[in-house]
Structure 1
Amino acid sequence: MNRIGWNHYFAFFLLLFAAATSFSIALTQIALTLAMILWIGLCLKEKKKPFPRTPLDWFFVAWLALEVISTLFSPGRYLALEHFIKRALLVPIVYLIAGSVQTRKQLRRLLLSLLGVMTIVAVIGIVKYHLGPGGLEGRLKLFNHYMTSGGLLMINGLLALAFVFSRAPQRVRLIALAAAVLMFFPLIYTYTRSSWLGYLAGFTFIILFTRWKFIFALIPAVLLAFWAAPSSLQERLISVVDPWHPNNIERTYMWQAGVRMVEHSPLYGYGDSEVGKRSEPYKSPQAKERGGHLHNNLIMFAVILGIPGLLVILGLFIRILATEWITLKSLAAEDWLLSATALGALAAFIGFQINGLFEWNFGDAEVAMLMWLTVGLSLAAGRIRSAAG
């Protein structure tokens, strides 16, 4: 019998981390911590660097440095420090995945763990929704808030769709299609408009990159789906483009308040400390909704970090998009595992950004954790291809 080594324990906790992202933040964090400790220990034992250099390094350094500055000047520095640490501890996910996933076999196992468990959770979500009242009042919550559920289903669904449109064997594409369909319905049942828009943006990118002529079929398909949808869903869809919808008006009040806050503290922001509460004096008198954040990633970063921090974050996002695009273009379509992984990661990041125009999804640890995992997957795919020569 082969002896179980520390590398096997590491592999187990890495796969557990990927699987748990679908249903348990506590188990995800425990598995991630243990995987990180084991990986660093294994690398020290073998006298090699645990984390690779990436094109994103200096952007991460600049961002985290500005987070420290904004925290020091924050009127609520202890709470700001807590939120900063939570965000900063997610960044190593990128390097853990990029450095430890070194073979196609490891990549395949990680994807199976990630997408397989999400598919099972999606099936549970479908049953749960149909046993409930349905509609907007009965919107689906998996094992978390409905907006978190929407973000997780959006990212995983786009990863699955990338394999549907890849040059993978037919069996793989059919399995991916089944997973994508099973994730699509609970995504709809969350009634989370920003996740719908992110999914549509990522799906559109996948089609344009792989089979651009299919875009002419996507438009009538969306219209047909709208026509067949129940009235509650149609009303929710129409509200996306209705500037006078109460929810949309409240969003604009939040964004306007955020802009006024940035004008008041443009250099180092307020830190991540009760931003929703601090925004109240800057809101329009007509505003009714009270929330903990401002429902937009870029406005939130501008408020938290100031304009210099916003520029660094924009630079980081653009650099990630460019790096993932370069990786995708460097991979041959025939190498379906790597190319589909890179395509899905880029589509997921695009979806995350569109989602983040209407939601503070960067502040949602579960969604942000999964987003960083996809960035690591793209880097890992590029490194596997480079190692093969």
Structure 2
Amino acid sequence: MPSIIYSKWFNWIAIGSFFLGGLWTLLTQEPYWLAIPFILVLAYPLFQFVVTKTEQLYWLLLIVLPLSTEYNFTPSLGLDLPDEPLLIILSITVFAGILYQPAQYKFIFASPIIRWIIALVIWMLISLCYAPNQWLALKFILAKSWYILPLVLLTALIHQQSSNFKKTALYLCVPMLIVVIQTLIRHAFYGFDFVAIKKTMGPFFRNHVNYSAMLVCLIPIGLLIHHFTHPLRTKKLIKIGLAIAFFGLFFAYSRGAWLALLVGMIAYWSIKKNILGKTILIGMITIFIAFVALINNNRFMRLAPEHDQTIFHENFSEHLNATIGLKDISNAERIHRWVAGVRMVAEKPWTGFGANSFYNNYQPYTAAPFKTWVSNNPEHSTVHNYFLLIAIEQGIPALLLFTGFFIYLLLLSQQLYHQFQNNYYRAISLGLGIMLLMIASLNFTSDLIETDKIGGLFWLAAGILISLKHHQQIEKEALAG
């Protein structure tokens, strides 16, 4: 990629900083201001390296995405390492690139996807004005920005080159396969025990939900790699990798991921038949009817668990039976928080309680009959439904905007699949549509868009769809010419 800044710009900045640093030192009698120009001089070689190696850093980001770990520097400050620092560095580079060479981003800013994202960010800023804790809400917006800039804008820019789609698939799937292999080996020493799965995926994943979610979302990408691989020996190796992935998914013991796999199959059939819009509409109507039926005459109170019987089951078959009987502690606790969440939305429907505010506000809205053994929430986790979380923290307008954006991405993937003449791009569009509907399914019982793993895949998919639309436009013009 071309360099995005001339060294003469830096020379002027350095001269200006020397002048201002010296002047401010004279005025304040604080000599440390003189250190700023020297810091800039020392930082310049590093910055020059970043702006000339932007694409290499991007590929490094994709490689470490499945391998990153959460690290808390303080109780209130945590980062995903090493991917989040890379996201921040790349965000600065992209921002500088937009300022210095805006023409290369022209096709990206012309995309409706960017208009949706701008609308989402504008509403975040509006809700920030009404947030009780504006610092928490501002941190949320900043974190969102350093996901969107590299994973949407830079992704769209880099994938103008068709071979980069294959690189993206490999750089995501190979590291994830390594994580799965080490998890299965460690899990085997525990006899693939249900409880032991929590001990085997560290330090790469916090829990089996996050692990299985990323694994199931990358399976369609693995199948694409298999589809486009022609040497027979390599194809056999990929089949072995896919078999390991399915073994890993089974022994992750995650009901949400298994359901997402089924949803992925439905997505495949729906996109092929060009009826994804109808499938989504049926799903939304079903959810709406179920919601209305539950709140009518307080029918939801019938779902209240028996506190002493709602426990964690160490045997997986007992765990599944408890799930069917609504006595499983994880789902019972989800219902406990969903009840609180719906009440919170009713309290502040327009601007919400502010980003990152659910944990600090939800307890007064809970219903006593739904309390479980883990309702004290020692992990400080949220409502376990991303769509509900958006409504709670940013209001119903944010929920409508995000849902509309998600549906647009899904329908765009279907549209591209049926409009492309090129089978390579058709297959990528299909794979993205499957992955996105899986992500939607997972986020009905979790808040995974806010994690680096699934959130990274979601924004990455948005960026790839921008580039695919650009390729489709080029193909269309070539056919017309």
Give the structure-2-normalised TM-score.
Answer: 0.68
Percent identity of the aligned residues?
19
Corresponding position: 1:58 with 2:58:
no
Distance 1:275 1:38, change over 3 A: closer
Alignment of 1:104-115 (within 5 A): 104-115=162-173
Long gaps (5+) in structure 2: 1-48, 69-79, 275-313
Matches of 2:257 and 2:145, distance apart in 1 = 24
CA contact (8 A) 2:219 2:242 kept: yes
CA contact (8 A) 2:263 2:441 kept: yes
Residue 183 of structure 2: SS of its match in structure 1? helix
Cα shift at 1:259: 0.7
Matches of 2:98 and 2:399, distance apart in 1 = 35
CA contact (8 A) 2:448 2:455 kept: yes
CA contact (8 A) 2:216 2:261 kept: yes
Distance 1:39 1:261, change over 3 A: closer
| Counterpart amino acid of residue 312 in structure 1 | L
Cα shift at 1:36: 4.6
CA contact (8 A) 1:261 1:303 kept: yes
* Deviations 1:259-298, CA, capped at 9 Å, x for gaps: 1001111110001233123111111113132442111011
Matches of 1:66 and 1:38, distance apart in 2 = 25
CA contact (8 A) 2:113 2:462 kept: no
Alignment of 1:91-130 (within 5 A): 91-92=148-149, 93-130=151-188
| Counterpart amino acid of residue 332 in structure 2 | I
Long gaps (5+) in structure 1: 213-230
Structure 2 residue aligned with 1:19? 63
Corresponding position: 1:342 with 2:402:
no
Matches of 1:19 and 1:83, distance apart in 2 = 25
Matches of 2:117 and 2:105, distance apart in 1 = 17
Structure 2 residue aligned with 1:198? 260
Aligned length: 364
| Counterpart amino acid of residue 97 in structure 1 | T
Matches of 2:444 and 2:102, distance apart in 1 = 43
| Counterpart amino acid of residue 81 in structure 1 | L
Alignment of 1:192-341 (within 5 A): 192-206=254-268, 209=271, 232-286=315-369, 287-288=371-372, 289-291=375-377, 292-332=381-421, 335-336=423-424, 338-341=425-428
Question: Structure 1 stretch 172-181 or stretch 261-270: which is displaced more?
Answer: 172-181
Cα shift at 1:163: 4.6
Structure 2 residue aligned with 1:352? 439
Matches of 2:352 and 2:97, distance apart in 1 = 40
Matches of 1:41 and 1:87, distance apart in 2 = 18
Matches of 1:136 and 1:83, distance apart in 2 = 34
Question: Structure 1 stretch 255-264 or stretch 35-44: which is displaced more?
Answer: 35-44
* Deviations 1:7-50, CA, capped at 9 Å, x for gaps: 87233212111111110132223333444555566677766333
| Counterpart amino acid of residue 355 in structure 1 | L
- The CA RMSD measured in Å over matched residues stands at 2.9
| Counterpart amino acid of residue 317 in structure 1 | F
| Counterpart amino acid of residue 277 in structure 1 | N
Cα shift at 1:353: 0.5
| Counterpart amino acid of residue 136 in structure 1 | F
| Counterpart amino acid of residue 401 in structure 2 | V
Distance 1:71 1:203, change over 3 A: same
Structure 2 residue aligned with 1:141? 201
CA contact (8 A) 2:319 2:328 kept: no
Distance 1:358 1:8, change over 3 A: same
| Counterpart amino acid of residue 423 in structure 2 | D
Pair member with larger Rg: 2
Give the structure-1-normalised TM-score.
Answer: 0.83
Matches of 1:372 and 1:13, distance apart in 2 = 17
Question: Structure 1 stretch 199-208 or stretch 340-349: which is displaced more?
Answer: 199-208
| Counterpart amino acid of residue 293 in structure 1 | T
CA contact (8 A) 2:322 2:328 kept: yes
RCO higher in 1 or 2 (8 Å CA, sep ≥ 6)? 1
Distance 1:84 1:40, change over 3 A: closer
Distance 1:265 1:44, change over 3 A: closer
